[in-house]
Amino acid sequence: MEPPPPQTPSLRWRIDEALESGELIFQEIGLALHRTVSQDLGAGLLRLRLLHEKALAGTPVAAGDLAALEQSFAHALVGTRSLAARCRPVGNEANSLMVALHQLAASVNSSTPCQFFCEEPVLIADRVLSSILYRVAEESVQNALRRGARAGIQLRLARGLAEITLSIADQGETTAPANSPNDSQKMLFRARAEMVGAQCHSVVNQEGEVVFTCILPLRSEG
């Protein structure tokens, strides 16, 4: 049996980046579970044990104890739903990408000005494609926040005759685009986009904004 052909640097890089991306996702999920669901359920279990001990001792259970127990489980439920939304932010509907990007901008806007613009409806029936574009935007926004985009972030989604364009612009503290090969976060979302045939680039425009653009050619029908 002949040995498998050596992997090209490009293929090796893509495999490594995919593995790293998956590991980062698992770490984020584990941390979120610990900080929210696990702690709330732990607190609820502790309160439940105390109520059990009171019941065994014949001590009346106060309404406040029951309210605190309910609050612990309610918080755990909210955390579970939030985590589920993060794992699957894009739904099955054709407008799900627009909805998800609007929600992403709203969540960031609580700490940093962030706006989403989509002048005409961009409907995508392929949920996998929509999910990849969403992750591109999500990671690009996170990169902008790391660069110190205190002045604001703008997400734009548009559909042309032959392509879908997603762009993320921010006014941060940097004066050059994050094009370094060591910028693993940038490489991750660029690799994801290129997997579906997109072309990506990052520039600094005349206003000093770092603009990341992802252009996805549309498949011709027939």
120 close to 165: Cβ distance less than 8 angstroms: no
Give the pLDDT score at 156.
95
Confirm if 214 and 165 have CB atoms less than 8 A apart.
yes
**pLDDT tens, residue by residue, 6-64:** 444 455 555 555 555 556 666 667 777 777 777 888 888 888 888 888 888 888 888 88
What pLDDT was estimated at residue 173? 57
Mean pLDDT of 181-202: 68
Closest alpha carbon to 212 in 197, 190, 196, 195: 190
Facing residues of 204 across strands? Answer: 210
Homologous superfamily assigned to 96-217: Histidine kinase-like ATPase, C-terminal domain (3.30.565.10)
| pLDDT above 60 (res 192) | yes
Query: Is the distance from CB of 202 to CB of 210 less than 8 angstroms?
Result: yes
pTM over 0.95: no
Distance CA 219, CA 83 (A): 33
Helices (H), 37-167: 39-57, 63-87, 96-109, 127-146
State the average pLDDT over residues 97-123.
Answer: 90
